[in-house]
Structures are given as structure tokens and as C-alpha cells.
Chain A
């Protein structure tokens, strides 16, 4: 079957045989994780290390060297946290809820998707909440700044990250620091951390090679040159042959 479109949001079609991991299947998610991990480390890493160095040696964060100890690409729940060893704090970035469909104009689809970004520092007692918990505030602000800017100097030389992946990405709200109500240890102790809600808009696009192969264009949109949507192989911008639209 002929591909009817070349990309939707961060997805590029067709997937090649060499693209066999989650970062290929949802590159937008990988971009958000990479950007936010680097931003949090750059903004709060030194403070984090000074903080954890001051903890007693038997504290589970005493040997933690990074405010993002490990990342999770799915919703953190007891199923996930009790099957794979995660280093605290955990940064979980995942698509949440059902996306809503919309149109930029007639036959120009887009999809609005909410994301959760959860920073889970671990099960804390009240004194540790006081000592570490407020660090969520600068971390949350670092996340917000990186999303608003779409880049961070510490990640890929400050290159803008969402060009060609998301038509729009925006910070919606944040919560915390707090003890989670839903996520608990098997002994019922809540995890401590914070959460940010993001929203992205992804759109359907055609590129010139696919556009040449089909005769009826419904449900897609032509690219303007140099808008960041590239070919699957090279990522290079594509100049659309508008003659195909006839």
C-alpha cells in the first residue's frame, strides 16, 4: 500500500528496519526526555550533589549523583517500579489521556495530546521532605523554561528541539511538591515528588515523494519549504512540488 502521508507529529513514515526502539517509535517523547534531563541536570545538578552529600550514608539517596537518576517512558505505577530497578529520582515522561483531534483548516488534521512529566524522588519521611522536597520548585521551573524556550544550552549545543516534531508545545500546569496519592510502596507509603502537564499539537503532513505517489489528498497538508519536517532518511527539509496538488 502506498503511504498516504510522510509524517504525523514526530513520527516519520515509513519506519525502516533499523528503527527498532522506542526512541524511533516516539521520537517526540525521546526529545522531551533528553531535553528535560539535561536541563534539570544543568540547572540543579550541583545543588543536588551538595544536598545528597549531606545526607547520612544509609539514606537511599546518599550515593545519588544526578537529580535525574533514571527515566521512565511509561506511567509510573507499582507494576513498573517493582519489575525494573530504577535509580532515584525517576523522571517519567509519557503521553497521558486521549488526544483530541482538530483541524488547522479543512483537510489539515492535527492532534492535541497531553503529557505528564513526573519527577519522583522516592518515599520520604517528613524531615527528608523538608530537606529535599522543595528542590522540586527549581526543577519545575527548569522544566518550564526548557519547554517555553524549546531548548537548553546544555543539550545538543542549545539547538531548538521541537522543530518539525510538534507544531506547538506548551506548559499547562504543575503540581507539587507533594506525596502522591495513587502511587505508593507495597507498604502504603506515598512517593514524594512533583508533576508537570504539557500539551503538544502534532499535525499530519505530506512530503513531495509521497505526494507524487498518490492522486487524492484528503486528510493531509502540504509542507512549506524549510519548516523542519524532513525526509525520513535524512531529516533534511523538503521542498514540496505543488504541481502534485493538481
Chain B
């Protein structure tokens, strides 16, 4: 196991603690979808959902920026910050190439589905910025996507 992976495993374990107290109310899933037709939108849609979790299946931190942050230009209106969650460390974590779309085939779509009190019926987001510059954490800044 790489040295960084040991720290990732520790970080991942502690990131799940808020959920143990019932404080993580939003679930996050990576939705990868494609259509039966030639181009996106043609024919039937097929989606595959992969939960983004920390620890032993706990939801990650999900934060909707305050109006003050939006007014200051720190975030776009309607955006959501997902994470930190943990890069892949072998026995857990989330693989970073799954986030940047580099593994997708042409015409395959990728969105983030967030479900919780802020969006009880689930809301789709697109990844606007994936912050993977830290060894122990991934943070996604997402903006609303069409349904």
C-alpha cells in the first residue's frame, strides 16, 4: 500500500463520522447515461448510478453555498459543493478518472444526482470544477444541469 493510501484510509474513516450522528442528509450519485440511438437523446436512455460515499457507505459532505458567497462571486447561483471525499486507496475511496469523464465513451453523459432536503426529488448537476489537487481529498463544485 502506498504511503498516501494509508492516510487516505484514515481520512475516509473520519469523514464518515458525521453520518454516524445523522448529520449527512444528502446522498450523491454519479449518473452515467447513454441512449440506444445514434446520438444523445435518440431512443431509450440507460443510466448507471454509482454512489459517491465515504467510510462504509456514508454520504459525503454536501454544501449549498450561502447567498453571501454567491453575491461575492465565489460560487455561481444554484451551485453545490460536494466533498471532501476520498480518492481511491485500494479498499475504498473514489477513483478520480471516474470524475473527470476520461473513461467515458463518445456520446456517454455524466451527471451528479443529489437527493436530500434541498432537493427531495433529486436534482442533476454537472461538474464545473473538480478539485483533486490534494492527496487526501476530492471536492467537486457543480452547477445545475438540465433534466
Contact = CB atoms under 8 A, between A and B. Distances in A.
Interface of A: 21-23, 69-71, 73, 78-79, 82-87, 186
Nearest to A23: B42
A23 B110 CA distance: 23
Given A82-B128, A83-B110, A86-B107, 8 more contacts: A79-B145, A82-B127, A84-B107, A84-B109, A84-B110, A85-B106, A186-B128, A186-B129
Interface in B109-147: 109-111, 126-129, 145-146
Contacts of A23: 42
A81 B93 CA distance: 27
Interface of B: 37, 39-43, 101, 104-111, 126-129, 145-146
A114 B95 CA distance: 44
Contacts of A73: 39
Contacts of B146: 79, 83
B42 A87 contact: no
Contacts of A83: 109-111, 126, 145-146
B127 A71 contact: no
Contacts of A69: 106
A189 to B, nearest CB: 14
A85 B101 contact: yes
- Where chain A touches its partner, the secondary structure class is loop
B130 to A, nearest CB: 9
A21 B41 contact: yes
4 tightest Cβ-Cβ pairs between the two chains A and B: A85-B104, A87-B106, A84-B109, A21-B42
B43 A70 contact: no
A188 B19 CA distance: 37
Contacts of A22: 39, 41-42
A82 B106 CA distance: 12
Contacts of B42: 21-23
B128 A71 contact: no
B46 to A, nearest CB: 14
Nearest to B141: A186
Nearest to A60: B102
A85 B104 CA distance: 6
12 contacts: A22-B39, A22-B42, A23-B42, A79-B145, A79-B146, A82-B126, A83-B109, A84-B110, A85-B101, A85-B106, A86-B106, A86-B107
Contacts of B101: 85
A71 B129 CA distance: 24
A92 to B, nearest CB: 12
A98 to B, nearest CB: 22
Most buried by A among B39, B42, B43, B126: B39
B143 to A, nearest CB: 8
B107 to A, nearest CB: 6
Contacts of A79: 126, 145-146
